[in-house]
Amino acid sequence: MRRFVPFLLVLFVIAAILRIDFFFTVVYLFAGVYALSHLWTRTAAEHLRVHRRFVDHAFPGDQVTVETTVQNDGWLPIPWLEVHESLPGELAVPPFHRRVISLGARKGHHLQYTLHCRRRGYYPIGPMTIRTGDLLGILSHRQIEVKPEHIVVYPKVVPLQQLDLPTRSPLVALPAPVPLFEDPARVMGVRDYQRGDSPRRIHWTATASVGRLLVKQYQPAIARETLICLDMERDDYSQRQWYTATELAIVVAASIANHVISQKRLPVGLTTEAWDPLQDQQAHFFLPPRPERAHLMSLLEVLARVQLTPGTSSFVNLLRRESVNLPWGATLTVITGRESRALFDTLVYLKRAGFAVALILVQPQPAHPSTGLPDRTELPGVPVHRVWTEQELEAWR
């Protein structure tokens, strides 16, 4: 009741003019109720606590349960609370969770709902708005806002049966029964003794433990590094199929990174320029190649967040700039949605500079010569792959 205070003033004036004790009693009663309701509501709101619990990282297809506890730490009961939690429409339908509850003194209430992770992204859970007031509705509703938390849904990872990216590493270029350029200071495991193994490689402690000859396996001194270069410029993808093409490009990047680290156990990195909802601006990402599983999860988290940019930067310039940070012989896997003369010239330049280069085009049909685009035969030594569906990616050879 926004007019309750003017009502009390009018009632007090009438009581003062008429000098009737009953009117003064009513004024004092209403004033006491108003003051008590105001104090009660303010005190109860100050002792209100909210805690969310949920897994903040998930994969597409997962279901994440969000448990929210609304706790009254005060000694005054709260007659009613309206809890409204805003949710992303991609994860929940309807995009909110609403409940009206009451809390006793030193009591709490648990709210629970489920998020369906249908697509990758960086999503806010919240904000949560809590409204409360007095039981009689005398005061205006008091509103409390709880800051949002975020959940990261990783991109889909397609298992690749085989992935033969080009390399200039001497570990692959020269066949040998024993890998070249091993580092004896870094033992990565043991294996059974084979004819021709040097006696100096025998692991005597492990041999005595299992009762058969075992030899040490060393980590290579030269690692075959792979850098995934992802194009997130809007102008480099078909205008009619921006979403389909860019989402598939991200799936390709995530699948390659997972295959190289999980199956090949080799270092892989990522570079791209994209819109980052976490920073709310266009950002440059560069994750140097590393082989650890934790690095793979960091790479997938970046791929979960990135969004298309309006094309203010040049993907070709990004390729030339990032190649400076890589050793000779590293593999550059370029993922884009459009062929161009500038791109082809850059790939040839990188090839001549000593890098192994692979081009992955995310497009439904190959470029037709009549479009004026360069012919792929102008890329000697650069394998070109075209993919448009996840089924084609799964069958990749």
pLDDT at 2: 57
pLDDT at 372: 46
* Residue tagged 């004092």 (tokens): 28
Residue 266 CA, distance from chain mean position = 23
The CATH code belonging to domain 46-153 is: 2.60.40.10
Residue 363: count other Cβ atoms within 10 Å of its Cβ: 18
pLDDT at 175: 37
Sign of CA dihedral 183, 185, 191, 194: positive
DSSP label at residue 304: H
pLDDT at 173: 36
Nearest Cα to 194, choosing from 213, 211, 181?
Answer: 213
Same CATH topology for 46-153 and 226-394?
no
**pLDDT digit string, tens, across residues 215-274:** 887 765 455 789 999 999 988 887 778 889 999 999 999 999 999 998 888 899 999 999
What DSSP letter does each residue of 120-153 carry, written as one string? -EEEEE--EEEEE--TT--SPPEEEEEPPEEEEE
Q: Which residues of the chain have pLDDT under 50?
A: 169-181, 221, 367, 370-373, 377
Residues 6+ apart with CB under 8 A from 168: 328, 329, 331, 354, 355, 356
Residue 124 CB-half CA count within 13 A: 12
- Sequence ranges of the domains in the chain: 4-45, 46-153, 176-220, 226-394
The CATH code belonging to domain 226-394 is: 3.40.50.410
Strand, coil or helix: 83: strand
Residue 294: count other Cβ atoms within 10 Å of its Cβ: 8
pLDDT at 241: 82
pLDDT at 137: 67
389 CB burial (10 A radius; 0-12, 13-18, 19+): exposed
* N- to C-terminal Cα separation, the chain: 72
